[in-house]
Amino acid sequence: MSRIAGCFSKLSDQQRTALIPYVTAGDPQPGVTVPLMHALVQAGADLIEVGVPFSDPMADGPVIQAACERALVHHTSLHDVLEMVREFRTEDTETPVILMGYLNPVEVWGYAEFASAAAAAGVDGVLTVDMPPEEAAELISAFRDHGIDAIFLLAPTSSEERMDIINRSASGFIYYVSFKGVTGANRLDVDAVSSKLMEVRKHTDLPIGVGFGIRDPESAASVARIADAVVVGSALVGRIPDLADRPEAIPAALAETLSGMRSAIDAVAGSR
Amino acid sequence: MEPTQAIDPERSAGTLPDEHGHFGPWGGRYVAETLMLPLDELTEAYNHYIKDPEFVAELDADLADFVGRPSPLYFAERWSTRLGGARIYLKREDLNHTGAHKVNNTVGQALLAQRMGKTRIIAETGAGQHGVATATVAARLGMECVIYMGSEDIKRQAINVYRMRLLGADVMAVESGSKTLKDALNEAMRDWVTNVDNTFYIIGTVAGPHPYPAMVRDFQTVIGREARDQIQQQAGRLPDALVACVGGGSNAIGLFYPFLADSEVAMFGVEAGGDGLETGRHAAPLCDGKAGVLHGNRTYLMEDPDGQIIETHSVSAGLDYPGVGPEHAWLKDTGRVTYDSVTDKEALTAFHEVTCVEGIMPALESSHALSYTARIAPAMDRDRIIVVNLSGRGDKDVHTIAAMEGITI
């Protein structure tokens, strides 16, 4: 069983919803990322999504775009991101780590070579947002060869046919994009997500994480009632600009935000 | 002469792309999940309407009466004589309504948007020509229009920005990344994913996710079909060479495509060499780029070893783009088209030459094609024929040119 599958299985036994924070690697500087990851685990993260900075983050809103730009000032590369995961793994061998980013850095590295290096660094899953399953056969097979879960998105526009395609391609969990839009937008409609998830669950047995637009403990709790995992990105990353001149304060500050969400989620545990 | 039809639904000159938008290893559809269904719907609507006689008739009529087609094929006699080699014919896309080839595509996509029941049009623009052509058709059809433009380009192309605003479009300044065309495209994609229910995204070049590269090409091939008829009527035979500038590559593919099966016709695509390929400050991914994935398709890109897209440079905002249409990547690999580059300086020289000798002021983009023509024409015999796509007029560039030459207007 992969580290991701094991994590979800344990949480399911405990009737808990997973909390998955997202942070962009290297934001606002490379030294912050690993301590930040540890702090997020302390604050209740069950899995961690590490964003791979990209020059053209088409699916992201202004908060994550700015995070990418800050990280790229220091030329944080995909190689650097794997180095950070490797360092994280020296102290934490349990928390699953998922890379989230765009295809081109992986494309340039080479699928097989990247998959091998990522597995060696301790990466458990990879989500390339601009890689639909139709184009992904070779990439998925490289990931499978190295025990890496291929995470795919489902969206409000996904047809039942696409749910089946994605179920066949995905492993670990499925990331449901809560609305039509970019990361961080204020468009979350929990009822709409809830009815779509009922449909999605007819097509897959994989755990379903919900992300985009979860900005506070209340929205985290309401999504936790219907999803297997709550993904929080812009609400955390959006705090970084104000702390950029005090980078040592970032891990504690973001951990505080996350732990508020953790408490709210746990308060609705078992109510699914 | 029989009017040349706006569109060739049989795509008789080639069979690519395949049903998933692949030109060999290039092209495809690399977008986030939310856009997969809208792109399927667009593909289906497009494939339906290009075979609908009513749609084609309306497009034909618009191209004739609104755009002013057919555009002339003009024998540049004085310039040909001065260069002392091949006879040079200019395909006068600069004479289209709005002053460039871009309108051929926006008229087609806007009609499609209307058929699909969309009420809002968005587009990205670099030089502003595609933005103006989009704002123009949106005004005519009474549709809401939002144009995304990098804030750097807004500074370079103030006149086109004002034209778009006069036409009723909202011009949104894009401040992210390099603040140029690629970032405008990112922002337009973000708008589309957010407003996909009522919004049609008119991409201006033969790039992006399937079906855009094929669809934009099909709307632009009217250039090549007209030129093919016109040169046979004027010269009694096919040309020996075609020349066009390549940014994303829509005017080039529009000219080239109807000639692809004519093996005796050589084709030259001219990229923006900027300060020179050796300086790295250019926008010539086919000449000096690497394979990658950006903006929904696999193609040649200007990128660093980590896969980050790098900033490009060209005096011509319309060529200042780090990617290129996937069909050009394929035509490069197969060797059917030869791709080369021309520097800012060389393009400027050609601009002045053609302006003074022919009384035609070409766009800086088109000046790249003209410069390359001046490079190859002298070595060709006088009975040889070159057709150059004069893709746009230069009025929009006079401020840039004056600034380069230290002149204050």
* Amino acid A186: pLDDT: 87
Q: Which member of A27, A46, A49, A124 is catalytic?
A: A49
Confidence of residue B309 (pLDDT cuts 50, 70, 90): very high
Q: Please choose, from the candidates B195, B193, B162, B190, the residue with its C-alpha nearest in 3D space to the C-alpha of residue B174.
A: B190
Share of residues in chain A with pLDDT > 70 (%): 99
A267 to chain B nearest CA, in Å?
Answer: 32
Can you give the residue ranges of every domain in chain A? 3-266
* Amino acid A88: pLDDT: 98
Q: What single-letter DSSP state applies at residue A186? A: S
* Amino acid B15: pLDDT: 76
* Amino acid A199: pLDDT: 97
Q: What is the mean pLDDT of residues A231-252?
A: 97
Confidence of residue A23 (pLDDT cuts 50, 70, 90): very high
Residue B1 has pLDDT above 60, yes or no: no
Three-state DSSP class for B20? coil
Question: Which chain A residue lies closest to B296 (C-alpha atoms)?
Answer: A130
B31-40 per-position pLDDT tens digit? 999 999 999 9
Q: What is the mean pLDDT of residues A144-148?
A: 98
A27-83 per-position pLDDT tens digit? 999 999 999 999 999 999 999 999 999 999 999 999 999 999 999 999 999 999 999
Give the whole-angstrom CA distance, residue B300 versus residue A152. 26
Confidence of residue B408 (pLDDT cuts 50, 70, 90): confident
Give the whole-angstrom CA distance, residue A69 versus residue A56. 9
What does the mean pLDDT of chain A come to? 96
Q: How many CB atoms lie within 10 A of CB A225?
A: 14
Token pair, residue A212, equals: 């985009």
Q: Could you give the residue ranges of the DSSP H alpha helices within B195-312? A: 212-220, 222-235, 250-256, 285-288
Share of residues in chain B with pLDDT > 70 (%): 98
A204-233 per-position pLDDT tens digit? 999 999 999 999 999 999 999 999 999 999
A57 chain-B contacts, CB cut-off 8 A: 186
A180 chain-B contacts, CB cut-off 8 A: 34, 193-197
A125-128 and B73-75 as β-strands: parallel, antiparallel, unpaired? unpaired
* Amino acid B159: pLDDT: 87
Confidence of residue A14 (pLDDT cuts 50, 70, 90): very high
Q: Which long-range CB contacts under 8 A does B163-169 form with residues at least 24 apart? A: B163/B128, B163/B132, B163/B135, B164/B125, B164/B128, B164/B131, B164/B132, B164/B135, B167/B132, B167/B135, B167/B136, B167/B138, B167/B139, B168/B135, B168/B138, B168/B139, B169/B131, B169/B134, B169/B135, B169/B138, B169/B139, B169/B145
For residue A28, CA distances in Å to A40, A50, A67, B305 come to: 16, 14, 7, 22
Q: Are B224 and B91 in contact (CB under 8 A)?
A: no
Mark out chain B residues that contact chain A at CB-CB < 8 A: 20, 28-38, 176-177, 182-183, 186, 189-190, 193-197, 290-296, 298, 301, 303, 305-310
CB contact (8 A) between residue B292 and residue A131: no
Question: CB-CB: which of B190, B303, B309 is closest to A182?
Answer: B190
B338-351 per-position pLDDT tens digit? 999 999 999 999 99
CB contact (8 A) between residue A104 and residue B301: yes
Share of residues in chain A with pLDDT > 90 (%): 97
* Amino acid B14: pLDDT: 67
DSSP string, B40-98: HHHHHHHHHHTT-HHHHHHHHHHIIIII-PSPPEEE-HHHHHHHTSSEEEEEEGGGSGG
Residue B358 has pLDDT above 70, yes or no: yes
Q: What is the mean pLDDT of residues B233-248?
A: 98
Q: Which long-range CB contacts under 8 A does A64-70 form with residues at least 24 apart? A: A64/A24, A64/A183, A64/A184, A64/A233, A64/A234, A64/A237, A65/B176, A65/B177, A66/A241, A67/A24, A67/A27, A67/A237, A67/A240, A68/A24, A68/A27, A69/B176, A69/B177, A70/A24, A70/A26, A70/A27, A70/A28, A70/A29, A70/A240, A70/A244
- What value of ipTM does the predicted structure carry? 0.96
Confidence of residue B8 (pLDDT cuts 50, 70, 90): confident
CB contact (8 A) between residue A155 and residue B32: yes
Q: Are A154 and A200 in contact (CB under 8 A)?
A: yes
Residue with structure tokens 């400050």?
B281
What does the mean pLDDT of chain B come to? 95
Question: CB-CB: which of B31, B195, B306 is closest to A105?
Answer: B306
Q: What is the mean pLDDT of residues B204-222?
A: 97
Q: What is the mean pLDDT of residues A113-141?
A: 98
Residue B5 has pLDDT above 90, yes or no: no
For residues B42 and B396, the model is more confident at B42
* Amino acid A162: pLDDT: 96
CB contact (8 A) between residue B305 and residue A166: no
Question: Which chain A residue lies closest to B177 (C-alpha atoms)?
Answer: A55
Give the whole-angstrom CA distance, residue B245 versus residue B237. 24
* Amino acid B216: pLDDT: 98
Residue B2 has pLDDT above 60, yes or no: no
Confidence of residue B46 (pLDDT cuts 50, 70, 90): very high
Active site residue A49: yes
Question: CB-CB: which of B38, B176, B308 is closest to A65?
Answer: B176
Confidence of residue A271 (pLDDT cuts 50, 70, 90): low
Active-site annotation of B, residues: 102, 124, 391
Question: Is the minimum CB–CB distance between A93 and chain B shorter than 8 Å?
Answer: no
A42 to chain B nearest CA, in Å?
Answer: 32
The hierarchical CATH code for the domain A3-266 is 3.20.20.70
* Amino acid B356: pLDDT: 98
Confidence of residue B11 (pLDDT cuts 50, 70, 90): low
